[in-house]
Amino acid sequence: MSDYAISVEHVEKMYKLYDKPTDRLKESLGLTRKKKYKEHYALHDVNFQVNKGETVGIIGTNGSGKSTILKIITGVLNPTAGEVKVNGRISALLELGAGFNMEYTGIENVYLNGTMIGFTREEIDAKLNDILEFADIGDFVYQPVKTYSSGMFVRLAFAVAINIDPEILIVDEALSVGDVFFQAKCYHKFEEFKKLGKTILFVSHDLGSIGKYCDRVVLLNQGVKLNEGKPKEMIDIYKKLLVNQYVDDDETEKEQENESDNENTKEESGTWKDMTTSNPDIVEYGNGLATIIDYGIKDAAGNMSNAIEKGSDFTIMFKVKFNEKVSDPIFAITIKDLKGTEITGTNTMFEKIDTGTVNKDEVRSVSFTQNMNLQGGDYLVSLGCTGYRDGEFTVYHRLYDVFNITVISNKNTVGYYDMNSEIVVE
């Protein structure tokens, strides 16, 4: 019997992109011999194998083909070329509740969805109590799902998919459904599957979860398998991809030779923001006495990266050009969660740093280095240059939510940050 659970061999997925709907119609009716479409490859010659009992992650930037390859593996899509072999019964957490009938009750949808996956009524009967207990939506299971809140809907859909006892579990960003307590239950079930030796194929933007759970990671980029290997190695490459700093193996030696020269060039030319994933809709204001002209973020290794490992040092820096002579400018950073709550921040006044007098057209560079103790997740950074003019607090220039920080963590505690407690049990 074969040791593989999933084998992907030379898989391609090509879409025809038409400029006008009439071009598609003409081609389908055979009214034109001229090619009216452009070819777009969502996947191109992708090869990898998932062994039985292995947990494999797939990561990549948006549009890299992650969801496409999962849909091909689960039979939702057919490949344009190549072959996928699956050795085992699959349960897929892709589009949760996609097979639900909104007019049916929760119970009826459990049986409908289970049957669609390929289970008998007797097998679903045996798992029904586990499904309902996991979903924990009470008597709503006897009501049509069209009356459910979105939270109840995904809880039931997730409960059905994960409690059917598959041999292969395929997960696409589905572990972040529901409230924090339900998410904890989902991750506990995920860990239970791993301990039972189930095969898991896992797609997520949560690099902390990828690093914690996966034995091996496949990295896709623009439809091509860029690399595969140990989680940390692939995450490091992915971080470089995010800020357009990845260099392939053929150019690695050349990159190392020129690394110091390149760094000097970057520093002189002020291109930090070109290597930082920035917000396309930055909100800014100020009276124009100063302008923030560049910004960026570095990880502990000194690489420009928005992805920072929890427990490591990182640096937020920015450059300010002054349009008038200014005394004692204040340089500030603020970190907020995605809901807009200010989590932390500081400035040169709080830190009692004398910034002195700055002349017109002078540029100041400021850096804030600290240890990352925030919980895993995404945060937004705001930058500011302010001061006092004629005794009045004045904003010279502020950039709100200018870029994000993705905290990679394999250990989260309660709340916004980790107290790094030392625990002794005797």
Residue among 372, 368, 369 at smallest CA distance from 420? 372
Contact 70, 203 (CB under 8 A): yes
Q: Where in the chain is the domain with CATH 3.40.50.300?
A: 1-88+167-175+198-248
- The tokens describing 174, both together, are 């589905």
| Tens of pLDDT, residues 14-41 | 998 888 888 888 887 777 777 878 888 9
Percent of the chain with pLDDT over 90: 50
- The pLDDT assigned to 104 comes to 94
- Residue 97: name the closest of 206, 177, 189, 168 by CA: 177
Sheet holding 363-371, edge to edge: 290-298, 313-322, 363-371
- For residue range 124-139, list pLDDT tens digits in order: 999 999 999 988 898 9
CATH class, range 1-88+167-175+198-248 = alpha beta
Query: What is the C-alpha separation between 332 and 295, in angstroms, rounded?
Result: 12
pLDDT at 280 over 90: no
- Give this prediction's pTM: 0.72
The average confidence (pLDDT) of the chain is 87
User: b/e map of 20-36 (b: 16 or more CB within 10 Å)?
Assistant: eeebeeebeeeeeeeeb
- Crossing angle of helices 121-135 and 150-162, in 10° steps, is 130
CA distances from 345 to 51, 146, 334 (A): 46, 44, 4
Whether the predicted pLDDT of 49 surpasses 80: yes
Tokens of 293: 């002209």
Predicted pLDDT of residue 250: 52
- Say if residue 349 is exposed, middle or buried (CB neighbours under 10 Å; 0-12, 13-18, 19+): middle
> What is the Cα–Cα distance from 361 to 259, expressed in whole angstroms?
30
| Domain range 268-408, CATH class | mainly beta
- Interacting residues of 195 by C-beta distance below 8 A, sequence separation 6+: none
Residue 375 has pLDDT above 70, yes or no: yes
Instruction: State the span(s) of the chain assigned CATH 2.70.50.60.
Output: 268-408
Q: Does the structure show a pLDDT above 80 at 404? A: yes
Report pLDDT digits (tens) over 290-330: 999 999 999 999 999 999 999 999 999 999 999 999 999 99
pLDDT (average), residues 185-206? 85
Provide mean pLDDT across the span 142-158.
87
Q: What is the pLDDT of residues 59-107, one digit of tens each?
A: 998 889 998 999 999 888 999 999 999 998 887 776 666 668 889 999 9
